Amino acid sequence: MVLSRRTFSALAGTAALGFSLSGSGSDEASAAGRTPIAPTGPAPGPPAADRKAHTVGFDRYSMLIDGKRLVLWSGEVHPFRLPSPSLWRDVLEKLRAHGYNAISIYVSWNYHSPAPGTYDFTGVRDLDLFLRTAAETGLYVILRPGPYINAEVDAGGFPGWLTVTKGTARTSDPTYLKYVDEWLTAVDRIAARHLYTDGGGTIVLYQLENEYANNVAEPAGRDYMSHLYAKVRADGIDVPLFHNDKGRNGYWAPGTFGTGGEKGRYLYAFDGYPSPVGQPPDWGYFGIGGTQGGATASPDTPGFLAEFGGGWFDPWGGVEFGGQGYAGSRRTRDAAYERRFYLTNLANGIKVHNVYMTFGGTSWGWLPAPIVYTSYDYGAALDEARQPTPKLIPMHQIGQLLHCVPDFAKLDRAADIAVGDDGIKAYHLVNPDTKAHVYVLRNDTSTETLALVPLAGAAVPVPVLVPGLDARLLVSGIGLGRRKLRYSSAQPMLWLTAGRQDIAVFTGASGESTKTALECASEPTVTVLEGSAQHKYADGVLRIDAQLCASTRVLVEGGGTAAPLLLLLVDDEASGRLWRYATPSGPVLVRGPALLRTAELRGTTVHLTGDTVESAELEVWGPRGIGEVVWNNGTLKTLATKSGSLLAQQRLPGVPGVPLPALTNWLRSAENPESAADYDDSGWKVADKKSSYSITPVPAGQPVLFADDYGYHYGDVWYRGHFTDVGTTDAVSLSYVSGAQGLLMAWLDGKPLGTHRMPVPDKKTVRQGTWAATATYPVPARTGARVLSVLVRRMQHDEDGAAKDTHKVARGLTAVTFNGSSPSVTWRIRGEVTPDPVRGPVNNGGLYGERHGWHLPGFAATGWKVVDFPRADRRQGVTWYRTDFRLAVDPAVDASIGLTLTDDPARAYRVQIFLNGWNMGQYINDVGPQHTFVLPNGLLRTRGSNTLALAVLSDGTTAAGPGEVKLTLLGSAAGGVPVTTVDSPGRASAKH
């Protein structure tokens, strides 16, 4: 349903009466017309689809869930970049375990809409299932459905069919808004069932548009944003809304566009991708202030970084990271980078922090924007193969801290401090309610530096060693259960109450000497249970000096407090094996395994599920009365320890080996019959249109040849031009437009004319999504009927980040001119067939083999010849290779497997990779940098038969492979989640 703006305003205004802002605050603040300020208090527990009413609001400090302060510590995940719904749970459980309490997701319009009015949310596109899984995992959701998302996907998320519609996108153009309303109706119908406000799910924030930095002062922009706001409210979305400013501009801050009279339900957010080689910027408390100061553009809403760089994307050729691919991205934005930059953000008052990307995944099929290749690993903390990286440890530590220590949700800038070294930038903040102090020490030099920090409560400055290009977070005055921390030079990670004792964890670099002081009314009893530590009591303070290692344990009893306190002083690596999990009976703390997925108390037994990679100890702290531990459905014998835990008497086993078969018995068949002079193209569409909505001009005297205008939006497209030789033509010029790394192949009367390729991007053209070129070939004289056959690998549509309709730039042939006489040419065009209902519109292009199902496991390769690799064919055109292989991975093992292609880089060819009919990406041998392609479980049958098909496109200038093609184990763990095979149809219809 498409509603008028008047109807929108009426509905939004009526709905606004029912919205309430969570939290309590002072009458003075209310009288002043400002948002009431809520007090500091414990964070809300993990969210769930509990069918209970909740309030979701905010004040200038933080989000408020049921009146309780919450720092959202979020990671960006895109369901469409992991086309195996079973694995969504795996990724989400890993993020929750590693300290994230929220995820942010784009919903890509092109992924769900193969045609106008058609919206598919089934199978790998089941948004409802993903949102249910997030709720079951205990994660809040930030929903970002566009309509434009950018995200390095084809057309920035716009569907291919939108490129041939009238009107200007990303404005208040009525034609565009008509389609936008249809899209939002389809998305919001699902989203409305998963709002946290009514307990249907865990969505707490909803984004309008994406990095919209254009038409800010124009009616076309303001009316557009108002329309989106009203539409979303009319669809029943009642959580706070926001927009993510592309920079620090103050664009679309509250009050800059109409919201139908609704106030206090919209936040300003911004994105930031600072260079890792520079100093972390101050975008808040310590910055320049005002609309250019990041969070200060909206002083009455919490600091909100909707996207902060957790890595960066890599272009074709890999110039961004010197050809190292995403391994290079991960090195430039490593764990030290995260501590230095993310802690700076916390110091600047950022209370909604979303890391883009936290799991990047795969831009499979024709999903990627032209500026990126298939992998979207992004150098993220969780790599493309779903394997944890060392980058997760800082996020793990910070996420646990923000949940356990409520003081961080409400901080003000405090007096500046001197730390004795100009190379250290010191941030000092204080909680106005509890008077707890927070310090961030940032070392912007490459030299390890000793800072002398005047921590609140310390009689003399406390020495703190800060590694080069790193940072440290310190606190003083926070509560550790029933005791109070005076100060510590180690970073706090978490505290919890387990049984009769409190447990506090502090972390830092291995071997680091730390000083920790606890307030005690009288002298306590102190027992060093593990490791090396010295302690001294004087003047109401217990001081503990310890060196961080895998496990230093100090038990503090008495001293005026009835409950014991167990201090765990561990190094960073050991902290990554400590897992906190909330249960209705109280929190559980687990030490040892590579991952804790779930914890559940049933009577006196704690049931745990998780993963191991190496053999590991299992130690559990939990509520009083637990006496038995079950790990992955197996009961373990345990011993009670002096630390108040249960320790398994036997180590958990590591993961067994995963044997992978060699890929042999390849079958080969050449295709591209479309290049033959006598090929029957009578069933193809005639390319004779005279006008187009593309922003690419139609050349004078030429028909429209743009592929999109004839309904071909993805992958390769074929043209055949029929003409009669008129004698004086000696050359033909073929003009075409493509995305990065596009190419054109031409044949005349069945004989190759040649191949033209777009250049590999360099540092100046790395962001160029659209490329245009003209290839000129000789035309040998001949009388009679002639046919010109052209194959264009169009690559993808450009994004529309500047809101200039660049997604409508043509793809395919644009003009064909002859030197000399100009024969009359009749053009026919052929691209992809109707997409199958499982794999969707981005899976296939227009190659002959794709149109006839050569990529599908059910195809009968009758007449194909047996060949071996490596191959060294030399021809212009397309050659297909197929083989079957079986896997027999242990059901209790989660094995991530990839396909690796290697060859002499001088060989010019590219490969489309199909696994069981799914297009898993494109490999360009002489460009790179990607050589390994992840094969997601569910598409890959880890216990059964699989079909691999390779469509090799070669230009004939060199010998063309494939060279070596093999399966590669990218990681494995004992554990994982149950995986269901994604259903697939057998064979496509044989259409020409």
Kind and range of the H or E element at 324?
A: none
H helices within 405-534, ranges in order?
none
**Measured between alpha carbons, how far is residue 242 from residues 59, 140, 207, 369, 583 in Å?**
14, 16, 5, 25, 32
Catalytic residue among 211, 262, 338, 832: 211
Cα dihedral: 281, 285, 290, 293 (round 10): 10
**Measured between alpha carbons, how far is residue 43 from residues 62, 495, 615, 677, 929 in Å?**
11, 13, 35, 72, 45
- Do 614 and 651 meet the contact criterion of CB atoms below 8 Å apart? no
Cα dihedral: 84, 86, 92, 93 (round 10): -150
Catalytic residue among 93, 307, 674, 799: 307
**Catalytic annotation on 76?**
no
Q: The tokens of 244 are what?
A: 């993510």
Contacts of 484 (CB under 8 A, 6+ apart): 477, 478, 518, 519
Closest CA to 717 of 833, 874, 854: 833
- Do 376 and 370 meet the contact criterion of CB atoms below 8 Å apart? no
Can you tell me the distance from the alpha carbon of 430 to that of 37, in angstroms, rounded to the nearest whole number? Answer: 16
Can you tell me the distance from the alpha carbon of 363 to that of 153, in angstroms, rounded to the nearest whole number? Answer: 8
- Do 629 and 606 meet the contact criterion of CB atoms below 8 Å apart? yes
Can you tell me the distance from the alpha carbon of 972 to that of 277, in angstroms, rounded to the nearest whole number? Answer: 33
- Do 600 and 617 meet the contact criterion of CB atoms below 8 Å apart? no
DSSP code string of 777-820: EE-----SEEEEEEEEE---PPP-TTSS-GGGS--EEEEEEEES
Q: CB-based burial of residue 543 (10 Å sphere; 0-12 exposed, 13-18 middle, 19+ buried)?
A: middle
Counting DSSP H helices and E strands in the chain, the numbers are 12, 54
Cα dihedral: 81, 85, 87, 93 (round 10): 100
**Catalytic annotation on 307?**
yes
- Do 768 and 738 meet the contact criterion of CB atoms below 8 Å apart? no
**Measured between alpha carbons, how far is residue 368 from residues 439, 761, 971 in Å?**
42, 16, 25
Contacts of 768 (CB under 8 A, 6+ apart): 371, 740, 761
- DSSP code, position 411: -
- Do 791 and 718 meet the contact criterion of CB atoms below 8 Å apart? yes
Which position has the token pair 């790193």? 470
- Do 606 and 640 meet the contact criterion of CB atoms below 8 Å apart? no
- Cβ neighbours, 10 Å, residue 500: 10
- Cβ neighbours, 10 Å, residue 532: 11
- Do 96 and 330 meet the contact criterion of CB atoms below 8 Å apart? no
3-state secondary structure of 478: coil
First to last CA, the chain: 37
Can you tell me the distance from the alpha carbon of 268 to that of 274, in angstroms, rounded to the nearest whole number? Answer: 19
Can you tell me the distance from the alpha carbon of 489 to that of 453, in angstroms, rounded to the nearest whole number? Answer: 9
- DSSP code, position 567: E
- Cβ neighbours, 10 Å, residue 492: 23
Positions marked active-site: 211, 307
